[in-house]
Structure 1
Amino acid sequence: MLHLRVICPAEVTGDVVALLTEHPGAAHLVRLPGAAVAPPGDVIEADIAREAADGLIAALCELGVDHSGGITLEQIDTALSDAADKAEEDAPGDAADAVVWEELLARTGEESRLNGTFLAFLAIACLLAAVGVITDSPVTIVGAMVVGPEFGPLAALAVGLVRRRRDLVRRAAIVLAVGFPVAMAVTALGTFVGNAAGLFDARALVGDHEVDFVYTVGPWSFIVALLAGAAGMLSMTSAKSAALVGVFISVTTVPAAGYASVAAILGEWARFGDSVLQLAVNLAGIVLAAVVVLVLRRATWTTADAGRPLSEG
């Protein structure tokens, strides 16, 4: 279930209440006349089935509530109510399969901002990958995969392409185009300092190692990226968000970036090239699969959002 709060002018309240009263996926309707201060108006709250959210938001936007007032959604972890159970039963579809497009746009927009936190996480992940490469530690490589925050902007890029949101595509592309070079530069600097301090042998990449899969490009690299991208987008568009952890530890985006940084400092240019290619293959595969998943799920697309720019805050 989701908790819906609507702020609207008094002259629209009747239409909003009628909409929520008549919809089978809504329950626990509350009306608070004059409770809203800025913007002024009435506050209407209801608990709605997830599978009903997209249609209700579309209907509220048709009433102009998104411009004259406001619409917010919150996740309800527990709801003990016969009315709530009935709403979930009567709402068309299944909660796990429902796509709340406005929620998806808000989430990917939030996760595709270029800020210090994103750059710090990406740099730390690449540094962890570099340590894993130098010490030949697959466990450390997996840790770097989990820490890496790159799936957020990749998902945003896919959503922007499918929804034709140029603002979202531009934001995600800038995050990726700036984030990875910055993180790789920081990792290269760390590798240079470690090499100069004698923390590891300059021939650390010579020979065969357990972590050589990081830079080894082949058909399976693209296949794994496709599967990970599909699983990640399915997770983001449904209630199965726990699957994202599996996505993080199945692709070698961050490890490839870390390996490339180490290889560049140690003069292993062939492996540097293979690592960069591995990075590109994984990024492309994830975005492609995510786009395909969204296109297939677009049958439930009802909410028009093309005119609403992303928040830059």
Structure 2
Amino acid sequence: MGIMQLRVDVSPRMSTEVFRRLHAIAEVSQLRVRSGAVQDDAQDVIEWCISEEALENCLELLSEYSDVSIQEIRPVGIQDSSMLTRHERNTLMWANQLAQAQNSSFFSLTYGVFIVVAVILAAIAVLTDSAILVVGAMVVGPDFAPVAALCTGVAFKERSLIVRSLCTLWGGYLLATVVVTLLACIALYLGLFTPLDVLGARPQTGFIWRPNIWSFLVAVLAGAVGVWALDTHQSSALIGVFISVTTIPAVGNLALGIAIGSSEEMVGSAAQLVINVLGMCVAGIVMLLIQRALWRANVQSLKDSGALSS
């Protein structure tokens, strides 16, 4: 789905013919020729952009000419998108969205470390009833990446991406729960905290294990904004997403609940986690499906008008 940029050197006697044949390819855009641009060899330079799907056919065409020398083939990045048409920019956006989702769907050492550290911070926030630490844990938490990858997998109907994202997301939560539960048991044995620190009044962090309709609504808004921010590369908006959802704090509270044997804390925390993940996924999937539908409608409109080859 990507867009490729090509640059070739061609002899002046053949440049007109090569230019004409490239111009006849519907997927070619931004086609231009610079006569005598290669001064030493008195060669012309032809540059153009083409969809990745049509690249092979284009290369076959170029192979017919012995005096055409390919100098550059590279994917067009976001920083180059000003040179593209609106359709090409949309195509490039979806290609980058899928590539980013593929990368985010894999469980890595970095992901594991970050989610464990985030849940440790969340557990400490619960024990100290610190709202500031809750926010810090949310920011450190990396779990929105596989959530976004999961939404993308559903939108693109990529089964392997869906499965991998689910494994990374819930595998990370499971890893963090196990590690922090063990650490909490050790801390409890050493007398660093008591069950009352978890079960007592916590005006700043009590909301973590008490989900309600607002938890779901916040997660829905966060999921929609998060996916939109990824699509439009608005990284600053993602910070708001991270500190809105209560996934990481819920895992921290769950681990403490297991350590002290409180079924109420465990059930409430697990419910909060599921509600937040569900809200983000539903909103993210709907947002991407709407965007995909609008993109397809635009593509069909271009095809109907003859501006885009079918």
Normalising by structure 1, we get a TM-score of: 0.73
Cα contact 2:210–2:272 (8 A) shared by 1: yes
How far residue 233 of structure 1 moved from its aligned partner, in angstroms, is 0.5
Tell me the residue number matched to 2:169.
176
State the one-letter code of the partner of 2:123: A
Q: Write the mapping of 1:1-313 to structure 2, written as runs, cut at 5 A.
A: 5-6=5-6, 23=29, 26=30, 57=51, 60-64=52-56, 72-76=75-79, 87=83, 91-92=85-86, 100-209=93-202, 210-298=204-292, 299-301=294-296
Compute the displacement of 1:287 (Å): 0.6
Report the alpha carbon displacement of residue 206 of structure 1 after superposing the two structures with TM.
Answer: 2.2
Q: CA deviation at 1:242?
A: 2.1
Q: What is the one-letter code of the residue matched to 2:209?
A: Y
CA contact (8 A) 2:31 2:47 kept: no
3-state SS of the aligned residue for 2:232? coil
- C-alpha contact (below 8 Å) 1:131/1:140 kept by paired residues: yes
Unaligned segments of structure 2, at least 5 residues: 11-17, 35-44, 61-71, 300-310
Closer/same/farther in 2, CA of residues 300 and 189 from structure 1, 3 Å limit: same
Equivalent in the alignment of 1:308: none
Please give the per-residue CA displacement for 1:185-228, whole angstroms capped at 9, x wherever unaligned: 01111111111222222321122211011111110010000000
In the alignment, residue 158 of structure 1 is paired with which amino acid? C
Deviating more after overlay: 225-234 vs 166-175: 166-175
- Corresponding letter in the other structure for 1:143: G
Q: Is the contact made by 2:3 and 2:91 (CA closer than 8 Å) also made in structure 1?
A: no
Match for 1:245: what amino acid?
Answer: I
- Give the direction of change, closer, same or farther, for the CA distance of 1:65–1:22 in structure 2 (3 Å limit): closer
Asked if the contact 2:115–2:140 (Cα under 8 Å) also holds between the matched residues in 1, the reply is yes
Structure with bigger helix share is 2
Q: Using the alignment, how far apart are the partners of 2:267 and 2:33 within structure 1?
A: 59
Residue identity (%):
31
Q: 1:63 to 1:21 in 2, by over 3 A?
A: closer
* Number of equivalent positions: 266
- Structure 1 residues 282 and 21, CA gap change in structure 2 (3 angstroms): closer
- Once the two structures are superposed, residues 116-165 of structure 1 have per-residue CA deviations (whole angstroms, 9 ceiling, x without a partner) of 11111111111110010111011101111001111111111111111111
Q: What residue identity is the alignment partner of 1:103?
A: N
* Aligned-residue CA RMSD (Å): 3.7
Q: Could you say if the C-alpha distance between residues 163 and 202 of structure 1 is closer, same or farther in structure 2, counting changes exceeding 3 Å?
A: same
Q: What secondary structure, in the 3-state scheme, does the structure 2 residue paired with 1:250 have? A: coil
Which runs of 5 or more residues in structure 1 are unaligned? 31-42, 49-55, 303-313
Aligned counterpart, 2:42: none
Amino acid at match of 1:191: A
Q: Could you say if the C-alpha distance between residues 64 and 242 of structure 1 is closer, same or farther in structure 2, counting changes exceeding 3 Å?
A: farther
Preserved contact between residue 214 and residue 256 of structure 1 (Cα < 8 Å): yes
Change (3 A) 1:67 1:103: farther
Contact 1:4/1:74, CA 8 A, preserved across alignment: no
SS at match of 2:75: strand
